[in-house]
Copies of this chain bind each other. A is one copy, B any other.
Amino acid sequence: MPKLRLALAQTNPVVGQLSENLNACFDMVKNAAEHGANIVLFGEMAATGYPIEDLAIRNRFILDAASSIEAFASKLLNSGLGDTAVIIGHPAPVKSDSQRSGWAGAMNSASIIFGGKVHAQYSKHHLPNYGVFDEYRNFKPGSDLVVFDHSGLKFGIAICEDIWQSGGPVSGMKKAGVDCLLVLNGSPFEVTKGDERLEVIQDVARDQDCAIAYVNLVGGQDDLVFDGGSLMVDASGKVVGRGKQFANDLVIFDLIDKNNIEPVKASPADKPDELWQIWQALVTGLRDYVDKNGFKSVILGLSGGIDSAVCAALAVDAIGRSRVFGVSMPSKYSSEHSKSDAFDLATRLGIDCRTEAIKGLVKPVEKQLKAKDLASENLQARMRGVILMTLSNLEGHLVLTTGNKSELAVGYSTIYGDSVGGFAPLKDVEKTLVWTLAQWRNNFALASGEIEPIPKNSIEKPPSAELRPGQVDQDSLPPYDLLDGILAAYINERLSREEITSRGYDEETVTKITNLVDRAEWKRRQGAIGPKITSTSFGRDRRMPITNKYSG
């Protein structure tokens, strides 16, 4: 006989949108209650969205969030949902007698709501302050354990980082006799992070001899993508069921005891394909940036190359073909295939594509300023930027910038040229992965009986910026597999030049590439945001000085 029905609610909140976020949570609780759930568990900061960054140090925001939680509790009671225990994440004010305002900062908390009231509040002990996280900046740590009983079972609470730190609150679960640990998470997607999460959860389950319900948020928030994929494991560490990845979901389990848990409504326990996950992460990040910021459509330059092709395909998957606009902007150096491949792509995707030649626009500037060489190359890219921004101003599109991570790393892009735009879908995707994704997406289409979205020619031809006659990327860069190897060692592994060379790379090449990376910091600092998919994305994940003479 099941003792208790537990629902894991994956929601996609918008940062700062308190009432709408909590309305969505209310609907989830209602749905869960209709399925007979006794407890509904939400993600970290499900009420406010996550990360709230410096909103955490705006007094009024924290007080508003606290009031919203109280109103949410009352609404649940008044709607006949007072008997369902709801655990939801939100920031909570730290009360301090020494502060006139009664507010001395915020904690990253979870409230247990029952019978129209907040019965207890747990606050995160371990505040991550590495990578993209600034929680030690924005929150004060909690120090109490919260354990509660329901239907003869004992529950504990933890928030995200708490379970990654040995010796943290989680280490007291066994002693407290906890049957099931409820974990609220705002854990951004990273390639291979799903596996790491599962390992950590399984370790804690076995070590503390308790089941674990792990709820993650869903959706894009600026440069982060929360991938959902909530998990239920029993005390032996066995996965009982999952939530969907990259979609809102309500996952339901019956708990008989910590070793006997049955899925009522859940996805199977097997692991999804890695390239599918990456593609979905990019799609989700793009879609949510567009939709949460109220853009009706996106526009991007289509060069016939692989980067813009993959960006366009991502955009179509994210927001639909009718909302994606392409522009072919040939110059006097553009090859025939750069135009034909762009239109082939547009036809395959079914998106609007127009031609705006730049020749007649570049020429007057070139003439007036006597521009040549690099200045002239950059001028072409900048005129394309001007065209895209002007069309954006005229028609209201969000401009997508199509540069990939390898390019951004070495600064092979024109600032205020091909870098213009509000969102960079491939910002954290290295060039070799762009090709892999293109091939994967085409295969995925084939397998579904659909047209391959990306022209074969865009995948196969040698990459070129086409800013001077006959130019190809490999004139000035090593082959991309080699380049990406050096970049990953320097950026993600933070190795020294010497350590990278000792892996067998040519010393001169390593010096050249790493120096390019350092010198491009000022450009990256002015770049658009884009979805993080690796351990070390550009942006708040990697904070390097611009003025920096270190060369080790």
Contacts and interface: CB of A to CB of B under 8 A. Distances in A.
Interface of A: 14-18, 20, 51-55, 57-61, 64, 129-130, 134, 136-137, 221-222, 288-289, 292-293, 356, 360-361, 364-365, 368-372, 374-375, 378-379, 382-383, 385-387, 389-391, 393-394, 415-416, 420, 422, 494-496, 498-499, 522, 525-529, 540, 542-552
A365 B394 CA distance: 13
B222 A547 contact: yes
Which 5 A-B pairs rank lowest in CB-CB distance, beginning with the nearest? A16-B550, A375-B393, A60-B496, A17-B549, A16-B549
A45 to B, nearest CB: 12
Number of copies: 2
B17 A550 contact: yes
B542 A54 contact: yes
Contacts of A134: 134, 137, 543
Contacts of A370: 394
Given A293-B547, A375-B393, 10 more contacts: A16-B549, A55-B550, A59-B494, A222-B545, A288-B547, A356-B369, A365-B383, A369-B390, A378-B389, A382-B386
B130 A15 contact: no
Given A64-B552, A137-B129, A550-B16, A496 B59 contact: yes
B390 A545 contact: no
A289 B526 CA distance: 16
B15 A550 contact: yes
A389 B394 contact: no
Nearest to A13: B549
Contacts of A540: 543
A548 B494 contact: no
A548 B50 CA distance: 10
A547 B289 contact: yes
A188 to B, nearest CB: 14
A378 B364 contact: no
Contacts of A61: 496, 550, 552
Given A54-B543, A420-B416, A526-B526, A15 B378 contact: no
Contacts of A57: 494
B292 A547 contact: yes
Contact of A416 (B59, B371, B389): B389
A494 B58 contact: yes
Contacts of A374: 393
Contacts of A364: 360-361, 364
A415 B387 CA distance: 13
12 contacts: A64-B552, A136-B136, A221-B545, A221-B547, A371-B393, A372-B394, A375-B390, A378-B393, A379-B390, A379-B393, A415-B420, A540-B543
A536 to B, nearest CB: 10
A369 B389 contact: no
A545 B51 contact: yes
A238 B20 CA distance: 58
Nearest to A518: B16
A543 B53 contact: yes
A54 B369 CA distance: 40
A52 B526 CA distance: 20
